[in-house]
């Protein structure tokens, strides 16, 4: 559907600094209910860079991201995001990935 591709493009612009490229196959749209659901999002390794924290993402995934979008009142109501299944593996900043013997 063309609309799903458009929504995926808009979400890439907004979430692109934090998650790998979205595509329309990850979207479940409930336009009239105001929900956009994204499944299995891979978090980018540089997702936390702007937060000035002493660690970085080594690997990460969001199992499900739900955005409740007030389509009729976009300028007066908030978009609410909820996460289900946030998995992050973080390592201290500046650490080198260690390999186990034999790998």
Q: Which residue did the predictor score with more confidence, 85 or 4?
A: 85
Nearest to 59 by CA among 97, 15, 27, 21: 97
Across the range 35-50, mean pLDDT stands at 88
pLDDT band at 82 (very low <50, low <70, confident <90, very high): very high
pLDDT band at 58 (very low <50, low <70, confident <90, very high): very high
Q: Where are the domains of the chain?
A: 2-92
Residue in the block written with tokens 């650490």: 95
Q: Residue 7's pLDDT is what?
A: 72
């Amino acid at each position: 559907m063309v609309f799903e591709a458009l929504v995926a493009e808009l979400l890439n612009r907004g979430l692109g600094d934090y998650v790998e490229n979205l595509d329309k196959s990850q979207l479940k749209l409930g336009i009239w209910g105001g929900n956009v659901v994204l499944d299995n999002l891979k978090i980018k390794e540089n997702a936390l860079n702007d937060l000035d924290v002493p660690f970085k993402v080594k690997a990460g995934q969001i199992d499900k991201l739900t955005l409740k979008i007030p389509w009729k009142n976009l300028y007066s109501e908030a978009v609410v995001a909820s996460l289900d299944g946030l998995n992050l593996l973080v390592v201290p900043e500046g650490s080198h990935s260690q390999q186990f013997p034999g790998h």
